[in-house]
Amino acid sequence: MRYQKILVTGGAGFIGTNFVRYLLEHYQGVEITVLDKLTYSGNLENLADLSTKRLNVVVGDVCDASLVCQLVQSVDAVINFAAESHNDNSLADPRPFLDTNIIGTYTLLEAVRKYHVFYHHVSTDEVFGDLSIDSTARFQEESRYQPSSPYSATKASSDHLVRAWVRSFGIQATISNSSNNYGPYQYVEKLIPRTIATIISGANPQVFGSGKQVRDWLHVTDHVRGLLAVLEKGESGQTYLFSANCQLSNLTVLQKIMRQLGQDPSNIVHVADRPGHDQRYALDASHTMAALDWHPVVTDFDAGLEETIAWYQNHQDWWQQAHSIVEAKYLKEGR
Ligand code: NAD
Ligand code: TDX
């Protein structure tokens, strides 16, 4: 590994947790500092069993410039997972998305500029907007930015800031845009864990609108391996795309979960559509695969889903309270 001391912002969230756990297990010499504000989606329990001298957890905000500078000056690299990450929340209240996703990124960029530290920016395919359901097109590195939601607009803004800091100030930085992740530790507001939690709790899952919208699913461990490949051999100024080219309609995903849990898929409930709902995401990751020698390992979605369902079945204490909060929120919004 090129970097021995890594600051992982947002390391108590879904992808950050999977990243920290994988890194500690597979890279013996590396020391990690997690900086996390512990918003509703951050959970220190995710890291509680990792009693290692190589992990230091700091509770704080990526917008806090003095704290960020203090932490950045003692590491070799920063990987930024800290974000407000849920589209529906960004429709209900965009402001925290501007603060964390834009000002938080700006704060980190200023710190890495000052202390000459490498920066990796974790971003999303949603910055490119959406594709028509009927086409076979996929987004590539140079596709036009055309975000649809307040969430994706703030992620697009933060990507632009990173490129500007590379070009104008010469910082060492990379960006990656990933397709939808699934796997353990994902907060139960997102499609797959929400559906699993709902069914286990004895209710019927909800699909927004027709359910024909398509998402491109990537197992979180494959994303983590890709991010580590960027840290090991990524080139500053480059963009990397992560996808397993696993495009499925939302309805298909829900039907698979219903069947795996022994339920009748005809009980899926169609509710009001998400305003501005992106129709289809799809990424062409072939350049990244060649550049980083990265390939997704979990290519059997049904098997990845089965393992994910088993994790949620075995960790009901982890999600039960959050599930009630999420469902009360959706109910208030009329879904
Ligand atoms: P998440 O919501 O599960 O985790 C976000 C983490 O950031 C939480 O631990 C939260 O407490 C922390 N955080 C929020 N605001 C903070 C702040 N101001 N300061 C410090 N910490 C703060 O999100 P996730 O799904 O793990 O996403 C991580 C990153 O990956 C995000 O940038 C997201 O845009 C990107 N991404 C996610 C997906 C996906 O499918 N989940 C796909 C592509 C890209
Ligand atoms: O209950 C639901 N029913 C439903 O039909 C939920 C929660 C979602 N949906 C639909 C909306 C989307 O078309 O399922 C699809 C997936 O929804 P989300 O899980 O909210 O993810 P999405 O909006 O696609 O964004 C995700 O992928 C890209 C992550 O939340 C982002 O952080 C990431 O950048």
Nearest-atom index, ligand 2, CA of 330: 1
Ligand 1 mean position to 65 CA, how many Å? Answer: 19
Instruction: State which CATH number among 3.90.550.10, 3.40.50.1000, 3.40.50.720, 3.50.50.60 fits the domain covering 5-186+219-243+281-300.
Output: 3.40.50.720
Task: Give me the DSSP letters along 127-188.
Answer: GG--B-TT----B-TTPPP---SHHHHHHHHHHHHHHHHHHHH---EEEEEE-EEESTT--T
Q: Which residues contact 161 (CB under 8 A, 6 or more apart)?
A: 102, 105, 106, 109
Q: What is the ipTM of this complex?
A: 0.99
Nearest-atom index, ligand 2, CA of 208: 5
Ligand 2 mean position to 192 CA, how many Å? Answer: 8
Q: Ligand 2, from 145, 208, 281: best to mutate by most atoms within 8 Å of Cβ?
A: 208
- Location of structure tokens 């795309």: 241
Q: What is the pLDDT along the chain (335 residues), one digit of tens a residue?
A: 999 999 999 999 999 999 999 999 999 999 999 999 999 999 999 999 996 899 999 999 999 999 999 999 999 999 999 999 999 999 999 999 999 999 999 999 999 999 999 999 999 999 999 999 999 999 999 999 999 999 999 999 999 999 999 999 999 999 999 999 999 999 999 999 999 999 999 999 999 999 999 999 999 999 999 999 999 999 999 999 999 999 999 999 999 999 999 999 999 999 999 999 999 999 999 999 999 999 999 999 999 999 999 999 999 999 999 999 999 999 988 77
* Helices assigned H by DSSP within 86-143: 87-92, 95-97, 105-115
Whether 155 is in the pocket of ligand 1, judged by its Cβ within 6 Å, is yes
Report the candidate in 240, 218, 237, 220 with the shortest Cα–Cα distance to residue 229: 240
**Catalytic residue status for 182:** no
**Catalytic residue status for 125:** yes
The structure tokens listed for 102 are 């834009």
d(CA 328, CA 300): 34
Ligand 1 mean position to 265 CA, how many Å? Answer: 31
**Catalytic residue status for 240:** no
